[in-house]
Amino acid sequence: MNKKRGYFIRYLSLAAFFVIICLIYTGRLIRYQIAGQDIYADKSDSEYSYRYETIHAQRGEIFDRNGVPLVVNAYTYDILLDGGSMPYAQRDKNEVILSVLADAEAAGETDTFTPPASPFTFFPMPDGSSVHFEYDTTYFESTGRKNKFYRLVTQLGCDESSSAEDTAAVLLARYGITQKGEDGYPVLNYDTNTAQLLLTLRLDMELSDFSAYTPYTLLTDVSLPLLTRVKESGVRGITPYTNASRSYTYPGYASHILGRLGKIRSGYVDYYTELGYPLDAIVGIGGAEEAFESYLHGEDGVLTVVEDGDGNIVDQYVSKEPKPGSNVYLTIDIEMQITAEDALRDNIQYIVDKAVASGKPLSGEDAKTGALTALDSRTGEVLAMASYPTYNLATFQQDYSMLNSDENAPMFNRALSGLYAPGSTFKIGVAAAALTEGIITPKTIIHDKGEYTYYSTYTPACWIYNQSRATHGPINVTTAIQVSCNYFFYEVGRLLTIETMNKYDRAFGLGVPTGIELAEKTGILAGPDYRNEKGLGAWNPGDTLAAAIGQAENSFTPLQISVYMSSILNNGIRMKTHLLHKVEAFHTGEVLETFTPQQMDGITLGEGVRDVLLNAMKSVTENGSAARVFRGYPIEMGGKTGTAQVLETKSDNAIFTAFAPFNNPEIVVTCVIEQGANGTDAGFAVRDVFDYYFDVNSD
């Protein structure tokens, strides 16, 4: 019996020991699950916790070709509540909040705190001991906010039928703002103003999913002294956050070129995640910010923070160094860009004022929009690129609704995405092809009879015949370009054929990508291929006549027209268009990359053809359709006007493209003004850009 009794006692002891161990582990588990962050309070001094903060890399800045800053970094500082290190006890949480707000008040920075919206209207009792609550109906106008609020209070035993007084009482107790008094009724732990503030904040924190993974922004745009004061206070549960934003040194200018920053758009998530970006990353959207993201973005670092059991920081070190992005230099000259944008705006207003004064309908009174591009014809560098109307990147967020609803689409980049019939500017390319192919020579004479009757089913007439029943008579190619004779180019286009015409114009850069790093439309080169691709029906012989004077479906961007003109100036050699000038290391200024001009597919012009075309375009500006804008201009130049019909109810589009200086062309400028009525009138903006480039002081 004694032996059995000994076994029993031994088994009982083992069972008791097992139960005790289980209770200890269960207790520790409960403590970890329920006590949360306050487990640190019971740790010995030798036990530490680690947390990791992102050190955001500096984004590279953007400069013009001369090193003038266009987009620079601006830094602001926020103070966040950190759920991962905040005390567990509700009243301790409140003390953290009040401590930070007190620091802000002491620093005179109460404007850094913006109280969130509250579902309650507060009415303090006269004796100051309690508060009466009613619902604020404006809070519930937001369906999303209303649903989140009632989802929370339903979990707490209230619902939509509960009074504001009852619901507030539950929340006040939940957040440690009240406690039971000796008589069993709730008593405020704070004065009524503080209680209101805490209830509003704590409720907003919970509805904002505040947790160890989702911090809550308490103060925004604080000063560095306040930031330092809060950090040195030793209060647990707060963390600083640095916001890097973009500052624009020329607000309102170059907006379409520069682009902006924003969260990753839904269609680009896979692309950026494959590159290692977090889902909440801020990236370039549009313009240079997006095109040169790989240079600008940099690589974030990691700060390791070591805390003791009381949440005090005992050590911190950079476990991964951040790598700043590189600085990007664009090919544009910001002063020329400003000149171009102002000139385009003023040119449009000039056309409108002139039309209104004339009283003639459809003479440009409906002109509102346009674009201008300036290229270095030798290298393909974009010197300026304007689209009107435009917008201000510095106020983009506030202005977005207005911009998005504006019928003139100010966010639309007409220089790169606007497609326009080239009108008579297209005739230069047709002449280049015909001369090179030997279809005509510089001395070939074609007699303008007014109405072109080669095809009985389609008999278009020259513009002068439609206007006054006159003709240009017998003319050669130089005179035909000078006076923009449609009849001459009907005949040349027929002899050349649409296939040969398009072979040359494609080589000159029409209907193909220009090479620019920004998003662009490639334009439409009219012909059988395009008709077949779009299912638009057969290409008829008469369509070639329309195409030869820049009509049919021909439509191109202003940038493409500048590229096309540059190719002809280069004797048929087309240069890749580009906006990137160079890339430099952020801190050292070391040149990491420089763009080298690149030749694209082209087609060599016949001997002497370039000279014929340049002389013809010179005559346009001296004695032809553009003479009233450029006659007597101190820099010898050449150009071509174009007027393209759009709708019978609207003024024609105005196009003007020009180059200078005549003997050794350096720059090509193209201006398109929608409903500008007359191609010549688009020349004023071009002249203003030439004035800047050549430092001409004109009236």
Quick one: pLDDT at residue 18?
55
Q: Are strands 473-475 and 580-584 parallel, antiparallel or unpaired?
A: unpaired
- Residue 550 DSSP label: T
pLDDT band at 31; cut points 50, 70, 90:
very low
Question: Looking at per-residue confidence, does 275 or 521 come out higher?
Answer: 521
pLDDT band at 279; cut points 50, 70, 90:
confident
What is the DSSP track for 242-289? EEEEEEESSTTSSHHHH-EEEEPPGGGHHHHHHTT--TT-EEEESHHH
User: CA 43, CA 81: separation in Å to the nearest integer?
Assistant: 23
Q: Is 516 helix (H, G, I), strand (E, B) or coil?
A: coil
CB 658 within 8 Å of CB 621: yes
Quick one: pLDDT at residue 314?
77
Quick one: pLDDT at residue 240?
85
> How many folded domains does the chain comprise?
1
Q: Quick check: is 457 in a domain?
A: yes
Task: Give bridge partners of residue 49 from the DSSP assignment.
Answer: 307
User: CA 627, CA 651: separation in Å to the nearest integer?
Assistant: 22
Structure-derived torsion over alpha carbons of residues 477, 478, 483, 488, reported in degrees to the nearest 10: 0
Quick one: pLDDT at residue 414?
98
Token look-up 């999913």 returns: 209
pLDDT band at 1; cut points 50, 70, 90:
very low
Mean pLDDT of 644-650: 92
- Whether the per-residue pLDDT at 37 is higher than 60: the answer is no
The letter for the amino acid at 317 is: Y
What is the DSSP track for 522-543? --B--SHHHHHHHT--PPPHHH
User: CA 488, CA 477: separation in Å to the nearest integer?
Assistant: 8
How much is the pTM?
Answer: 0.78
Please state, as a whole number, how many other Cβ atoms lie within 10 Å of the Cβ of residue 501: 24
- Given its phi and psi angles, is residue 234 left (phi above 0), alpha (psi -120 to 50 degrees) or beta? left
Per-residue burial over 397-434, b = 16 or more CB atoms within 10 Å of its CB, e = otherwise: eebeeebeeeeeebbbbbbbbbbbbbbbbbbbbbbbbb
The letter for the amino acid at 356 is: V
- Whether the per-residue pLDDT at 17 is higher than 60: the answer is no
Q: Quick check: is 421 in a domain?
A: yes
Q: Quick check: is 461 in a domain?
A: yes
Q: 579 CB contacts (<8 Å, ≥6 apart)?
A: 257, 288, 291, 330, 331, 332, 381, 382, 516, 517, 518
- Given its phi and psi angles, is residue 612 left (phi above 0), alpha (psi -120 to 50 degrees) or beta? alpha
Give the CATH number for residue 618: 3.40.710.10
Q: Quick check: is 663 in a domain?
A: yes
User: CA 107, CA 101: separation in Å to the nearest integer?
Assistant: 10
Closest Cα partner for 71 from 334, 325, 244, 248? 248
Mean pLDDT of 207-227: 88
- Whether the per-residue pLDDT at 386 is higher than 80: the answer is yes
The letter for the amino acid at 557 is: T
Q: Quick check: is 196 in a domain?
A: no
- Whether the per-residue pLDDT at 3 is higher than 90: the answer is no
User: CA 199, CA 117: separation in Å to the nearest integer?
Assistant: 11
- Residue ranges making up the domain that contains 452: 334-390+414-693
Token look-up 């202003």 returns: 558
Mean pLDDT of 58-79: 93
The model's pLDDT over 431-479, given as tens digits with 9 standing for 90+, comes to 999 999 999 999 999 999 999 999 999 999 999 999 999 999 999 999 9
Name the phi and psi angles at 575, rounded to 5.
-100, 145
- Whether the per-residue pLDDT at 44 is higher than 50: the answer is no
User: CA 476, CA 341: separation in Å to the nearest integer?
Assistant: 38
The letter for the amino acid at 633 is: Y
pLDDT band at 14; cut points 50, 70, 90:
low
CB 57 within 8 Å of CB 48: no
User: CA 436, CA 505: separation in Å to the nearest integer?
Assistant: 13
The letter for the amino acid at 83 is: G
Closest Cα partner for 450 from 440, 437, 463, 441? 463
User: CA 167, CA 177: separation in Å to the nearest integer?
Assistant: 14
Q: Quick check: is 116 in a domain?
A: no
Share of the chain above pLDDT 90, in %: 72
Residues composing the chain: 699
- Whether the per-residue pLDDT at 35 is higher than 60: the answer is no
Token look-up 């040359």 returns: 504
CB 81 within 8 Å of CB 210: yes
Closest Cα partner for 672 from 413, 377, 498? 413
Q: Quick check: is 354 in a domain?
A: yes
Q: Quick check: is 492 in a domain?
A: yes
